[in-house]
A = this chain, B = another copy of it.
Amino acid sequence: MPYSYETDGASIYRESFAIIRREADLARFTAEEEPVAVRMIHSAGMVELAPHILFSPDFATSARAALSDGAPILCDARMVAQGITPARLPADNPIICTLHDAPVRDMAREMGTTRSAAALELWRPYLAGAVVAIGNAPTALFHLLTMLEDPTCPRPAAILGCPVGFVGAAESKEALWHAAPVPCAIVRGRLGGSAITVGALNALASRSET
């Protein structure tokens, strides 16, 4: 039996985004935010994601400006780092994930926390003006918030907080939303994850939708 299916990548993207814009309630997003929300929904395969997406008023503009200026993208998980499409980045931005760096295992033991949280200590040299993308570990997001309570800690330009799951994910995102140390975005509740995070990043990196 021959299978009949769309084989043109650009057409698949266009049709997907048209379906999302037809089915999802996107009215509350600004023109800056809407394409980011659309791509997050696309990555999740769920128009039902829309009401869970929250942007602080300056998140999309801050993140886009930082990326245009060459800001590094700091990722908590290798799946996030791998999913970002380098060709979409406006300034050949460095994509950094320190989770698997050699010292992290020992650091986590000494700090009494997860490797995901300990790995963020290695972000300090890159943190000023960076775009942070946390798509996996609630402990990473909680640790970042703790780091930023120290006024001498460098400030990122924007934080995308999308850890996923059943323990700490919802709580860590509420903590980010309420502390809001810099412009931020979250997916409220349990939903989130590397694919949604990558979708947002790829939308912030370029306005191309194919």
Contacts and interface: CB of A to CB of B under 8 A. Distances in A.
A167 B3 contact: no
A28 to B, nearest CB: 21
Contacts of A8: 114
Interface in A1-38: 1-3, 5-9, 12, 15-16, 19-20
Given A3-B175, A171-B5, A45 B194 contact: no
Interface residues of A, number: 51
Given A3-B142, A19-B166, A167-B12, A43 B79 contact: no
Contact of A146 (B3, B146, B171, B189): B3
A79 B172 CA distance: 24
Contact of A82 (B15, B82, B195): B82
30 contacts: A1-B149, A1-B179, A3-B145, A3-B146, A5-B138, A6-B139, A6-B168, A7-B112, A7-B139, A12-B114, A12-B139, A19-B167, A20-B166, A42-B166, A43-B193, A45-B165, A45-B166, A45-B191, A45-B192, A46-B190, A78-B83, A79-B79, A79-B83, A79-B194, A79-B198, A83-B194, A164-B195, A193-B195, A194-B194, A195-B195
Interface of A: 1-3, 5-9, 12, 15-16, 19-20, 42-46, 78-79, 82-83, 112-115, 117, 138-139, 142, 145-146, 149, 164-169, 171-172, 175, 179, 189-195, 198
Given A7-B112, A15-B166, A45-B166, 17 more contacts: A3-B142, A3-B146, A5-B142, A6-B139, A7-B114, A12-B168, A16-B167, A43-B164, A45-B169, A45-B190, A45-B193, A46-B191, A78-B82, A79-B194, A79-B195, A79-B198, A83-B194
